[in-house]
Structure 1
Amino acid sequence: MGQQTTEVEPEPEQRAEMDIDPTLSKESKRQREGTGNIGAFGKRTGSSDLRFFEGILPEIDGEILSDHSIEEQFSTALDNLEAALADNRNATFGDVMKLEIQLTDPSATEAIDHVYESRFDDVELPPRTVVGVCSLPGGADVQLDVIAAEE
């Protein structure tokens, strides 16, 4: 299967770092381009068919839903993941290989279990890790990092 890639210009400080370090291979330099970005978007590394989505938050139109319940926040983050997957070659929850859920209150794991199971109801549940964190951007209580495979 052919792969589409988009050239990303590195940030000036990254370009300087890459120019200074002659030991980096061309492939290594290419993989490091654009890594200063944050937010929910997919990245491919090397020539693999894996996509990495990072920093998926419970936000709508740029507003973090920090005053909503953990179930609502998690459901919204999953909505955002679903949209990000669809934007990347029409991927679906069935393409998710690994899900990391970052929670400001790890005891909320049970509260999000039913949302997790209902949203992945028609596919095999992907492996997941729940990580407790001190804080998240915008006062969110949940954030997702995801690995998906292109089929």
Structure 2
Amino acid sequence: MTNYFDYKIITSSLIKAVRTLTGKPCIEANGTGEQPEYPFATFTITSPKIAIQQDDNNAQFEITVSLTWHDESTLSVLNLAKQCESFFKSTEGRKIFAEKGVVIVDVTDFDRRDNFISIEYERTAGFDIMMRVLDPHVDNVAGIEQIKFDGGKN
């Protein structure tokens, strides 16, 4: 077990869930690799750490991940975004992450996110997923076992 939260827990679970649900690839947005054939999904960790309590041992924090579908067809991206949005709001979708110690706090409603590329549009639609995780970091500092007072003599 690592002494820090590993973001691959979220990304690998997200990629697997999207592939299993739709049969389509899900890749990191703005990556340097080859773009898959349409349609495909991209993810971006838009907020990697939103503190919800003091940064102590095993502190909880939230992460926001944006999931966006890309295609040449508006109806295609709307249908895929709606399918995934409904899945991640469902008990079955939340269970995939819960098994990894990740709680889905909220899933926003999906919306259109079209991109104008040169002389044509890439049709996109997506939504955000807010997740809560536990940072397994433990500070291994020895505790204070005894305090002695000298009565103010020093």
- TM-score scaled by structure 1? 0.33
- TM-score scaled by structure 2? 0.33
Higher Rg of the two aligned structures: 2
